Amino acid sequence: MVGAICCDTARVSRTRPGLRAAPALLALVLAACAGGRATSAPIMPTSSAPPSAASPTGTLAPSGSSPSAGSVSLGLEPFADGLADPVFVTHAGDGSGLLYVVERGGTIRIIESDGSVRPDPFLDISERVVAGGEQGLLGLAFHPAYRDDGRFYVMYTAAGDGANTVSEFTASGGAGDPASERVLLSIADFAGNHNGGMVAFGPDGHLYVGTGDGGGGGDPEENGQDPFALLGKILRIDVDGTGSEGSPYAIPADNPFSDGSRAAPEVWAIGMRNPWRFSFDRETGDLWIGDVGQGRWEEIDAEPAGAGGRNYGWDTMEGPDCFEEEGCDTAGLTLPVAAYTHDEGSCTVIGGHVYRGARYPDATGTYVYGDFCSGLVWGLDAAAAMAAGTAEPVLLLEEGMSLSAFGEDEEGELYAVDLGGRILRLVWE
């Protein structure tokens, strides 16, 4: 497929020869143009702006000139199949060896260590979730004390009003109890796209929440740069405490805006467009964010452990460029360590993980990320990127899949999630 089909909230990118066009992406575009609702669609369509023809000189676009990084090359091996719109995979940290897969329609499935999928869901809240396009059950995080108390947390778009919802559930007898739901955050939203969806516990034991700017194109409500809006942010809350006036969570005392005078006290980072996937380096505690772009740039942001209060630029910036005007004021903004354009069929960055497993020591310290539309996967030297503030990514893999997420097992081995229903294990050779 050559060229672009554009609508208000979705587009089909040019597809590089040899890579299949994701059928889910086309389904969303056709439904959006017709005013209907797609039953199968990508998690993160980009804006209607056409892709740029080339990257400007001196940008952080990956070279794509080599299929390997250092002495290793990346491959994928099948692990599990038969899932329905999987958008995330993770582990519970309880020593069980199980993986948990989030299905966009509102269910969580358990995968055994041999790759078999249990027939009964771990959790089913499909009646509470509006799903399709960028909406649905989007994120999952297990409490550090899950082995003892069974608590876990999800993020979803709520049926009825589409609010971005973060809830706590409790598991017993090997399954989550739908009746145990305790809503922590319900953030009103005005559009169906840019919902973020990632929740993860940091090494500090607090829950981090990624929220999109609310949707539309160009951040119409200016949420990204509004410090008091909970949309367009990374939030950080203490789920083990209670706040004032009956709040179901506490504000960590060391949050950068904890007193609420300069920003909402929950805010950890400002200036996000759609931080669909982020992760913590399990060795250093550094935070890596894949922030989905508008019409031209996709970006990776890197934050040293504990460095809250940063402004990542949206919608003053998109990637390394000014967004709304030339010569914008970049003072006080943190620019991405890596970025790429929508050339070669790319459209939506999928943030990944720094590899810290034991099976492939030559790959240790490589941050792996990819793109939903093109299926391209890149790697960069995490330590060098943190030290220099920029990085030169290397193309590791060119695979025809609808990449929706990466995930780690308890041992630090990495997996790729294909929205078409597969979980694939990353292997280095």
Map out the domains of the chain with their CATH numbers: 79-428 (2.120.10.30)
Q: What is the pLDDT of the chain when averaged over all its residues?
A: 86
Q: What is the pTM of this model?
A: 0.87
pLDDT at 178 over 80: yes
Mean pLDDT for the stretch of residues 74-98: 97
pLDDT-derived band at 71 (thresholds 50, 70, 90) equals low
Residues 6+ positions from 202 with CB-CB distance below 8 Å: 208, 236, 280, 285, 287
Amino acid identity, residue 314?
W
- Say how far apart CA 421 and CA 221 lie, in whole Å: 35
DSSP state of 58: T
Q: Could you tell me which of 127, 150, 123, 159 has the C-alpha nearest to residue 139?
A: 123
Name which of 4-13, 319-328, 329-338, 359-368 the model is least confident about.
4-13
| Residue range 50-59: mean pLDDT, rounded | 28
CA distance 205 to 188: 26
- The residue-averaged pLDDT of 349-376 equals 97
Is the pLDDT score of 396 beyond 50? yes
Nearest by Cα to 279 from 289, 266, 271, 270 = 289
The backbone torsions φ and ψ at residue 340, rounded to the nearest 5 degrees and listed phi first, read -145, 155
Q: What is the structure's pLDDT at 72?
A: 66
d(CA 2, CA 8): 20
Q: Which residues of 144-173 are buried (b: 16+ CB within 10 A; e: fewer)?
A: eebeeebbbbbbbbbbeebbbbbbbbbbee
What's the average model confidence in pLDDT over 62-66?
Answer: 35
Q: How big, in percent rounded to 5, are the helix, strand and coil portions of the chain?
A: 10, 35, 55
State how far the Cα of 185 lies from the Cα of 65, in Å rounded to an integer.
44
| Backbone dihedral angles phi then psi of residue 339, each to the nearest 5 degrees | -155, 155
Instruction: Kindly tell me if the per-residue pLDDT of 37 is higher than 50.
Output: no
Tell me the CA distances in angstroms from 265 to 28, 229, 258, one per residue in order: 36, 10, 4
pLDDT at 399: 87
Mean pLDDT of all residues in 110-122 = 98
pLDDT score at 244: 81
Phi, psi torsion values for 288, nearest 5 degrees: -120, 125
Cα dihedral 75, 78, 83, 89, rounded to 10, equals -50
* Token duo for residue 299: 């970006």
Residue 104 has pLDDT above 50, yes or no: yes
273-329: per-residue pLDDT in tens? Answer: 999 999 999 999 999 999 999 999 999 999 999 999 999 999 999 999 999 888 899
Rounded percentage of the chain residues whose pLDDT exceeds 70: 83
pLDDT for the residue 325:
82
Between 49-63, 89-103, 190-204, the lowest mean confidence (pLDDT) is in: 49-63
Q: In Å, how far are 191, 248, 340, 355, 376 from 20, measured between CA atoms?
A: 29, 46, 20, 28, 12
Instruction: Please report how many Cα atoms fall inside a 13 Å half-sphere around the Cα of residue 116, on the Cβ side.
Output: 4
Lowest mean pLDDT: which of 36-45, 139-148, 205-214, 357-366? 36-45
Categorize the per-residue pLDDT at 24 as very low, low, confident or very high, splitting at 50, 70 and 90.
Answer: very low
- Beta carbons within 8 Å of 176's beta carbon, 6+ residues apart: 108, 122, 123, 152, 169, 170
What is the Cα gyration radius of the chain?
20
Give, as one character, the DSSP assignment of residue 386: H
Give CA–CA dist 368/353, Å, rounded: 6
* Per-residue tokens: 50: 């056409």
